[in-house]
Structures are given as structure tokens and as C-alpha cells.
Amino acid sequence: MANPKDDPEYDEWCDPDNPRKVKYEDILAASRRMVGQVIRTQCPRAHMSEKLGLDLYMKQEFLQVTGNFKERGVRNTLMLLSDEQKKYGVISASSGNHGAAMTYNAAKLNIPCLIVMPEQAAIAKIVNAERPGAKVLLHGKNMAEAKRFAMTTAKEKKMMYVNGYDHPNVIEGQGTIGIEILEQLPTVDAVLVPCGGGSLLAGVAIAIKHLKPDTEVYGIETDKTCSMVESLKKNERIFLPIDSSIADGLAVNRVGVNTFFNLKGLVDKMVVVKEDWVARAIMHVVEEEKFVIEGAGAVGVAALMAGLFPNLKGKKVVVVISGGNIDTTTFGRALERGMAAEGRLVKFKVSISDRPGGLAELCGMLAGIGVTLRDCVPERVCVKEAIFNVQFKVICETRGWDHTKELVDVIKKHYKDYLFQDINEHPEKSSTAKRGPCLAPNPVCMQK
Ligand SMILES: Cc1ncc(COP(=O)(O)O)c(C=O)c1O
């Protein structure tokens, strides 16, 4: 029988036949080791507390130098390398936050570092990871191929492959966030943690359950990235195909060996939030807290906004805002989707007179009720309307559902042929369909 250790992808630190128990004492040692090495991020009370009906605090990990918490796990791992390993260096496959955290920290500690990204990696991600003294190499059509190449190179060049979500020292480093949260807010009732491969959730849960076991710890995934929920349901690490996600930091097909082993039975509940809510959370955090966060960092806020935690009303809750690295295109799309989901961007078609003054009349009507015209495209060919009519595809901005209803009423009153699109939460049907965090039907929750 073939020896699994001969497989180039075998990683002695993340061995399915020998998962490693991560101990609180090692997280405590990491937190002492890393004083002055990573930023002790603040955890202030959020302005959104009142709207959400709880005492909400945000652990602002997007304030780390590379804009995310991954620096903690990486720094801890690098500091624990033997002198010999420091000479050979470290390697990983990542086109996200882990890669940037690796090159930054390795460069700081003068440790050779190579990050492998797929050939198609976005330029922004390549640039984000490039640092003097550390290399980014493009190889393979996808992450699986990049990872295989990185692990083969690790063995050839005696570099250490650092799994960004499963190496035990990485999990210990992420766990230091749990210790800090309890130092900053000793009376916290619950902590909400984003979950991808699981290092952040496992580390935080181990620390918090050791120090204050009555604090509830929840893991949050999106409906497109729920590999941990599916694995826990089946009690094995399943492979979940993932297309794309607004929370790309959570897009891990198969969760870690060590993370799965450590967080099973420790986390109170896994909760899955729909991606629409993540876009809305990104938008509300910008509007109400005044900072920019990425999808993976927004899932805790999204779950609260989506009404998935009725049990936390009036409680003291910390959400870990794990990162702020969102590219401008995704950010723009998230804002637009968030606005559309809240009835603040409305799309409709309307047939109006093509004679002088027809369009002016429509614009005047919109201006009269304070609606902003965002886009307006005429369609004269292949339309069935009267010969001197023109159909316009219109996109408008409103203040929310009530204002949208006013717009619908005005258009209905003045025009015969119109069609409103994607108004799926009609104000008359839902008393909660207003601007601002509101409650939605409960998507998927899972008990431990
Ligand atoms: C911003 C952000 N949040 C959360 C996660 C998930 O972390 P983990 O893979 O340790 O579960 C990641 C992973 O890259 C991330 O970049």
C-alpha cells in the first residue's frame, strides 16, 4: 500500500491521521510572544448597537498592517521556526490575506518567503502580496495546482509549507484574539467569528471557552461557503464546490484537519447567512460605523442584521471584523447590491411619449418626489408600444421601501405601460421592509 507520506501534498503539521490538539497554554504563550509584533486592535462599541437591539462591539482586525487578522497566525509561526528553518524559509499557496500576511511578516523577520498564486490571480492581489525580500510566483490554473506546486517546491528546497488555516501555530496565533477580547470586554456574552478553513474560529473558541466557558461562541459562514457546516453535519471534512463568493476569504473547499478536530463540540453553533445580507452589512458598516470592510469580515454583522440571533437581544456581543481588503470593483458592487436589497435602487421599464417634453415630464415627476435618476436608456426598436412612444429602462435611487412605494404609485398613476423589476420585498407585504437593519426569515442555523 502506498505510503501517504510520499504524496507531495502530505503535510506533517496537518495530517488527517494525526490531528493536533491546540492547547490554551500555547495560545497564551503566543499572545505573550507577540506583544509588540502585531497590533493589539481596538474593540469599541458600535453605533449600530441600538438599531440591532444589543450592546455590540467590533474587534477591528482590519487595522492590522496588511488589513486582516492572518498576521497573528503567521507571525507566531515564523517566530517559532528553528534557526535552520529560518534559513531555508517558508512557502505557501495563497492569493488572499494569508499570502500578504506571510510576505509582510517574513520580510520583517528577514526570513526567505515564496508565495505561489494561480496564473490568473488578480493584479491587485499580486501587488498586495509583493514585498521587498519576498517573492510571489504565478503557477497553475487554479489554487489546487498552485498548492501542489508550492508543496512540491517546499520538499525540494526544504522550505516549510505554512497552511494558512490549519497549521497548529497559525491556530494558536489567531486564538490571541480571544484572549484580547476577554481582556477588553470581560463581561461579553457572545462572540461571533467568521469561518473559512477554521483557524480563526478554532483559536478564538479554544481561548474563550478556557477562560470564560459561559461565553457563547458562534461560527459564521455564508450560504455559498458553508464547508464547515456541511462537514459538521456529516462528521467528516467534505469537499464543497464553491463558485464565487462576496466573502472570498471564507471560500475554502475543505476545512482544516486540525481546525475541524479542535472546534467540534466546542463552538456553540454554526450559522449560515445569505450573501445578500453580507452586501447589506458592508454597506451599513460604511454608512454607520464609517469604515470599509471585506465580505469575510462582514458576516457577523450580516448575521445579526438578518435576525439570526434573536437569543442575543439586549446582550453584550463582540463580532470579529476580520479584514478590510476589498477591491474597489467588489466594493462598488456590494454597495449597489446592498442598496437594491433594501429597496434603495429600483429598476423599471416605462413607456412614455416620444414627443418633445415626454422625458422632461418623467424627470419632473421623479424630482417632484425626491427620487434620483441614476440611469435611463431608451429602446425604440422591437417594442410593442404605440408608434410615438418610447420605452425607457430606468434605474432610480430612493430613500428605502416607503419611498419606493411612492415612486411605484406615481408611475402607475401617470403611465399605462410599466414594469418594475426585482421588487421582491414589496412594502405592502412586509412590515419590516424598511431601510436599515431588519429581520428576515431565518435561513440556515445549525446546533453543535
Ligand atoms: C478576512 C478574513 N476573514 C476570515 C477568514 C477565515 O479565516 P479561517 O480560514 O481561519 O477560517 C479569512 C481567511 O482568509 C479572511 O481573510
Q: Are residue 241 and residue 297 in the same domain, yes or no? A: yes
Q: What is the pLDDT of residues 117-168, one digit of tens each?
A: 999 888 888 888 998 889 999 999 999 999 999 999 999 999 999 999 999 9
- Joined together, the cell numbers standing for residue 173 give 496565533
Distance 162 CA to ligand 1 centre (A): 15
8 A C-beta contact, residue 369 and residue 331 = no
Pocket test residue of 62, 70, 92 for ligand 1, highest count of atoms within 8 A of CB:
70
7 belongs to a structural domain: no
360 belongs to a structural domain: yes
266 belongs to a structural domain: yes
Q: Are residue 118 and residue 216 in the same domain, yes or no? A: no
| Domain hosting residue 358, numbered range | 344-421
Distance 433 CA to ligand 1 centre (A): 31
What integer pLDDT is reported at residue 202 of this predicted model?
A: 98
Q: At which of 339, 367, 397 does a domain end?
A: 339
- How confident is the model over 215-244, as a mean pLDDT? 96
- Joined together, the cell numbers standing for residue 27 give 495560545
Q: Are residue 53 and residue 183 in the same domain, yes or no? A: yes
Nearest residue (CA) to ligand 1, atom 6: 196
- Joined together, the cell numbers standing for residue 432 give 419590516
pLDDT of 425 > 70? The answer is no
Pocket test residue of 69, 94, 172 for ligand 1, highest count of atoms within 8 A of CB:
69
80 belongs to a structural domain: no
Q: What is the pLDDT of residues 17-31, one digit of tens each?
A: 999 999 999 999 999
DSSP 319: E
Distance 81 CA to ligand 1 centre (A): 23
Q: Are residue 392 and residue 265 in the same domain, yes or no? A: no
> What band does 438 get if pLDDT is binned at 50, 70 and 90?
very low
Pocket test residue of 97, 162, 237 for ligand 1, highest count of atoms within 8 A of CB:
97
Distance 322 CA to ligand 1 centre (A): 7
Question: What is d(CA 20, CA 196) in angstroms, rounded to the nearest whole number?
Answer: 19
8 A C-beta contact, residue 261 and residue 13 = no
Burial of 50 (0-12, 13-18, 19+ CB in 10 A): exposed
pLDDT of 408 > 70? The answer is yes
Nearest residue (CA) to ligand 1, atom 10: 199
- Please count the structural domains in the chain: 3
Q: Are residue 232 and residue 287 in the same domain, yes or no? A: yes
Q: Are residue 198 and residue 303 in the same domain, yes or no? A: yes
Q: At which of 111, 135, 158 does a domain end?
A: 158
Distance 97 CA to ligand 1 centre (A): 8
Ligand 1, residue 200: give the atom nearest the CA.
10
What integer pLDDT is reported at residue 1 of this predicted model?
A: 60
Q: What is the pLDDT of residues 35-84, one digit of tens each?
A: 999 999 999 999 999 999 999 999 999 999 999 999 999 999 999 999 99
* CATH classification at residue 241: 3.40.50.1100
Alpha carbon of 14 to those of 151, 156, 241: distances in Å?
13, 19, 21
β-sheet bridge partners, residue 402? none
Nearest residue (CA) to ligand 1, atom 12: 249
Question: Could you tell me whether strands 113-117 and 134-138 are parallel, antiparallel, or unpaired per DSSP bridges?
Answer: parallel
Distance 249 CA to ligand 1 centre (A): 5
DSSP 63: G
Nearest residue (CA) to ligand 1, atom 1: 323
Q: What angle do CA 125, 129, 131 make, to 5 degrees?
A: 145
436 belongs to a structural domain: no
Nearest residue (CA) to ligand 1, atom 7: 196
- Joined together, the cell numbers standing for residue 442 give 431565518
What integer pLDDT is reported at residue 424 of this predicted model?
A: 52
Distance 431 CA to ligand 1 centre (A): 35
119 belongs to a structural domain: yes
Distance 195 CA to ligand 1 centre (A): 6
What integer pLDDT is reported at residue 218 of this predicted model?
A: 98
8 belongs to a structural domain: no
Q: Are residue 281 and residue 396 in the same domain, yes or no? A: no
Nearest residue (CA) to ligand 1, atom 15: 249
401 belongs to a structural domain: yes
Pocket test residue of 163, 170, 250, 252 for ligand 1, highest count of atoms within 8 A of CB:
250
Distance 35 CA to ligand 1 centre (A): 22
Q: Are residue 65 and residue 194 in the same domain, yes or no? A: yes
**H helices of 235-376, where?**
257-263, 275-284, 295-305, 328-341, 358-368
Alpha carbon of 124 to those of 63, 127, 283, 327, 328: distances in Å?
19, 5, 22, 7, 10
Q: Are residue 58 and residue 200 in the same domain, yes or no? A: yes
Tell me which residue has cell 463552538.
267
Nearest residue (CA) to ligand 1, atom 16: 249
8 A C-beta contact, residue 66 and residue 97 = yes
- 148-162, 221-235, 298-312, 410-424: lowest mean pLDDT where? 410-424
β-sheet bridge partners, residue 55? 316
- How confident is the model over 179-183, as a mean pLDDT? 98
Distance 200 CA to ligand 1 centre (A): 7
Task: Catalogue the long-range contacts made by 396-399 (C-beta closer than 8 Å, 24 or more residues apart).
Answer: 396/345, 396/346, 396/348, 396/366, 396/371, 396/372, 397/339, 397/344, 397/345, 397/346, 397/371, 397/372, 398/343, 398/344, 398/345, 398/346, 398/371, 398/372, 399/344, 399/370, 399/435
Backbone φ, ψ for residue 327 (5° rounding): -75, 160
Which residues line ligand 1 at a C-beta cut-off of 6 Å?
Answer: 68, 70, 96-98, 165, 194-201, 249-250, 252, 294, 296-297, 322-323
The residues near 209 (Cβ < 8 Å, ≥ 6 apart) are 215, 217, 266
Q: Are residue 174 and residue 254 in the same domain, yes or no? A: yes
Question: What is d(CA 350, CA 380) in angstroms, rounded to the nearest whole number?
Answer: 12
- How confident is the model over 229-246, as a mean pLDDT? 95
- Whole-prediction pTM: 0.90
* CATH classification at residue 353: 3.30.70.260
Tell me which residue of 139, 135, 144 sits closest to 89, measured CA to CA.
135
8 A C-beta contact, residue 208 and residue 191 = yes
Ligand 1, residue 194: give the atom nearest the CA.
4
Q: Are residue 291 and residue 384 in the same domain, yes or no? A: no
Q: Are residue 227 and residue 360 in the same domain, yes or no? A: no
Distance 396 CA to ligand 1 centre (A): 36
